[in-house]
Structure 1
Amino acid sequence: MPSDLAKTLTYLALHLTIGFSVAYVLTGSLAIAGGIALIEPCINAVAFFFHEKAWKRMGQRRTAGAALMAA
């Protein structure tokens, strides 16, 4: 499993737990807390995955640019 995907999945598990806990404390409803905990972190995890990919790509471009400047 690629490290970006593993990192995303562990982040998702943490976010689901925190999201559910906070929503339950605020609402007292298992159904509402469950809905919030599933929807918001899942969207965030997808965004995080692509955010990581973009940062990695920018780092590769920077490295390639530095190599060109050094040549």
Structure 2
Amino acid sequence: MLKTMTFAMLHFGVAFSITYLLTGSLLIGGAVALVEPTINTVVFYFHEKVWKRIESNRAVLKQPG
């Protein structure tokens, strides 16, 4: 979960910076920086869970026996 939270903070900074640079608006930059990274962080969390399950299944299939 810590990895997800640090990713969220980094993503927030990037989203705000890019949106602000493109629009010059603190309001729009802040709004995009709140919405987009929040959704992306939730998606990332579940993406990680799916990949862990895939890796676990692959490990089981590779076991001799």
- Distance in 2 (CA, whole Å) between partners of 1:54 and 1:66 is 19
Question: How do residues 1-71 of structure 1 correspond to structure 2 at under 5 angstroms?
Answer: 5-67=1-63, 70-71=64-65
What TM-score, normalized to structure 1? 0.88
- Distance in 2 (CA, whole Å) between partners of 1:66 and 1:21 is 45
**Which 4+ runs in 1 deviate beyond 2 A?**
none
RMSD: 0.6
Shift in Å at residue 66 of structure 1? 1.3
What TM-score, normalized to structure 2? 0.96
* Runs of 5+ consecutive residues of structure 2 not aligned to the other structure: none
* Runs of 5+ consecutive residues of structure 1 not aligned to the other structure: none
Q: What is the identity, as a one-letter code, of the residue corresponding to 1:44? A: N
Aligned residues: 65
